[in-house]
Amino acid sequence: MAILEAKDISSGYGEVQILWGASLSLEEGKLTSLVGANGVGKTTLLRTIVGLNKPWEGSIWFEGEDVSKLSAHAKASMGLVLVPEGRQLFTDMTVYENLEMGATAQRSRARMAESFEKVFTMFPRLKERRGQKSGTLSGGEQQMLAVARGVMADPKVLIIDELSLGLAPVLVLDLFGSLKKLKDEGITILLVEQNVQMALAVSDYGYVLAEGRNEMQGPAKELINNKEIRSAYLGI
């Protein structure tokens, strides 16, 4: 059964419509990626799913419940967590405090000690720097913290927008490795990436978005070998 489903979503900003009936369905425990060129509405779709934007049309279902009208903090409390593009850390707060803020919901606060251990094992660097203000971290460390903060929320579905943006390839490999570990622990992951090849390589399933609509979808292995995708996004 799908843990998260977005059905025929239309949305945008002000007068400008970005999404024209995009749909998405996440299989529980799988890593799904959403790819597409710059500006096709990937981030808008994520913002609409988590409640930062309201859907103009269509509905969003989480664990069989219609959550279309819920606020972002309510959805986060249910375990639908977004790691936003550009990290969006609390830059004036310490690494530790950022992680603490991740565990805001009742259910995640109950498991805070456990979650701290988990993220510090996953990212030992963050443990070393836990007293440091997050704004002073390097780009890679900030991205680790953004993911770790999301993990602190004890998510059922973790959505990550542009994990690799602006990071050195070695770091990106590391982070993708961490995602696999999270998946193995049973967290359903939706990954949005401009780095199409990398994203599809680690994913189970993939969606291709173009001009605010679904263009293609299928098992990641098939997509990565698809001729159109290879020429449009992979430049091969």
Partner 1 sequence: MQQLSLLLTSLPDGILLGFVYGVAAMGLTLIWGVMDVINLSHGPIISLGMFGTFFIFIKMGINPYLGLIPVAILGLLLGVAIYFIAVHRVIDAPHLSSLLATFSVNMIIIGIATAALTTSPYNVDFNMGSFDLGFTTILGTRLIAAVIAILVTGGLYFFLYRTRPGKYIRAVTNNRAAAELMGVPSTQILALSFGLGTMLAAISGALIATFFPFSILSGAGYELKSFVIGVLGGLGNPVGALFGGLILGVLEGAIPAFMETSWVPVIEFGLFVIILLVRPNGLFGAKE
Which residues would be at the binding site for partner 1 (CB under 8 A)? Answer: 50, 52, 71-73, 76-77, 81-82, 84, 88-93, 97, 100-102, 104-105, 108, 149, 153
- What is the smallest separation between the CB atom of 84 and partner 1, expressed in angstroms? 6
Residue 207 Cβ vs partner 1, minimum distance, rounded to whole Å = 22
Nearer to partner 1 (CB atom), residue 142 or residue 226: 142
- Asked whether the CA dihedral 159, 91, 52, 140 is positive or negative, the reply is negative
Nearer to partner 1, 150 or 206 (CB): 150
Least Å from the CB of residue 12 to partner 1: 17
- By beta-carbon proximity to partner 1, the closer residue of 86 and 219 is 86
List all residues 6 or more positions away from 138 whose beta carbon is below 8 Å from its beta carbon.
none
CB of 198 to partner 1, least distance (A): 24
175 phi, psi to nearest 5 deg: -65, -40
Q: Which is nearer to partner 1, 47 or 220 (CB)?
A: 47
Written as one string, the DSSP assignment of 136-169 is: GS-HHHHHHHHHHHHHHT--SEEEEE-SSTT--H
First to last CA, the chain: 35
Q: What amino acid occupies position 189? A: I
